[in-house]
Amino acid sequence: MPRSSEPVNPAASPWHLLGSAVRHWREEVRHLSQREVAKAAYLDDGDLSKWERGLARPHADVVARLDTALGAGQHLVALHATVVELERLRTVATGPRAEEEIATERRHLLQLAIAGTLGAGSEPIRRLLGDAFGQEFRAVEDWEMACADHLYALRTRPPSQVASDLLVDLLTVRRQLETATPAQAVELQRITATLASVQGNALTRLGEHGAALRWWRTARQAADASGDLGLRLMVRGEEAGHGLYGQRDPETVLGLVESAERIAGGPTADLLTTRAKALSLLGRHDEARDTVNALIALACGGVKGEAFGFWKPDQINFAESWVYASAGDEAAADRARQQVLAATRDYQYDANVRLHEALCIVSKGGADTGMRQAAAVITSLPAAYRSHHIVQTGRLVLRAVPVDQRGRRAVGEFRELLGAGAGTATA
219 neighbors 243 (Cβ within 8 angstroms): no
In angstroms, the CA 32 to CA 45 distance is 12
- CA–centroid distance for 321 within its chain: 24
User: Which pLDDT value is given to residue 11?
Assistant: 42
User: Which pLDDT value is given to residue 90?
Assistant: 55
User: Which pLDDT value is given to residue 10?
Assistant: 43
User: Which pLDDT value is given to residue 15?
Assistant: 77
In angstroms, the CA 327 to CA 320 distance is 11
User: Which pLDDT value is given to residue 95?
Assistant: 52
User: Which pLDDT value is given to residue 284?
Assistant: 96
For the full predicted model, state whether its pTM sits above 0.75. no
What secondary structure letter does DSSP report for 7? E
In angstroms, the CA 351 to CA 370 distance is 14
CA dihedral for 178, 184, 185, 189, sign (positive or negative): negative
User: Which pLDDT value is given to residue 85?
Assistant: 64
Spans of the chain below 70 pLDDT: 1-14, 82, 85-136, 301, 303, 305-308, 420-427
Helix (H, G, I), strand (E, B) or coil at 58: strand
H or E element, residue 6: strand 5-7
Residue 284's CB: how many other CB atoms inside 10 A?
A: 15
Nearest to 278 by CA among 330, 310, 241: 241
Helix (H, G, I), strand (E, B) or coil at 126: helix
